[in-house]
Amino acid sequence: MIKVLHGLHDKLASLHVEIGRELGQKPTGLAAHELLDALDAQLRTITDAVPAHAPMTKSMLMNDSEDWIRLSVFVETALRDLGRLIQECGNIVHERKQPFLRLIRRIESEGYEIDETTFTQVSDGHDWSVDELDSPEVRIQLDAEQIARAEQAAQYQQRLERINEAIKAIEVDYAERIRQLTKTMPTPPASSGQISTPE
């Protein structure tokens, strides 16, 4: 049983790296790291006190094994639920991003430029420099077109921002669901000083 707990401890470390690589600073990624840290803290109350290859003693069997089993089941269940929530969130966000991407392609096809950092800031990519030979009438027309395109850019930006905020709200909601997984965490087993260590 103690080997199982040490194995779970190692698994948490691997998941920490994997989730950091895949989700980074996204709300779900931050929440997942909080959950993994909480689970790790629980496991370490045991694994820091009992080596992985420690022989099972009668005292451990009688005094500690029930807590160990309860904790291992909780950690495995929490990890399974974490994986499910991350997958659900990813699927929903992917679906919601399709209209977002289609709108971006449409905006760019009309000659507007989209900031490559935020993906929501829209500017007019048209060159409005005026030739000295242009007549006043042409200049007035160009000014009117420039104003119209600036207004259209603002409208497009608002649409992108609304869609982006809706996607962020989904991620925040799932992040909170992930944090809720710690609410049913079992009472920590005996402190490391009280665990029946091998003689």
pLDDT of residue 129: 74
Question: What is the arithmetic mean of pLDDT over 117-140?
Answer: 81
Q: What is the pLDDT of residue 136?
A: 82
Q: Is the pLDDT of residue 190 over 60?
A: no
Task: Give the C-alpha distances (Å, rounded to integers) separating 185 from 56, 69, 70, 156, 176.
Answer: 25, 13, 10, 46, 16
Pick the residue with more confidence: 141 or 68?
A: 141
Please report the pLDDT score of residue 23 as a whole number: 95
33, 42, 90, 192 from 15: Cα distances, Å: 9, 16, 17, 25
pLDDT band at 193 (very low <50, low <70, confident <90, very high): very low
pLDDT at 64: 64
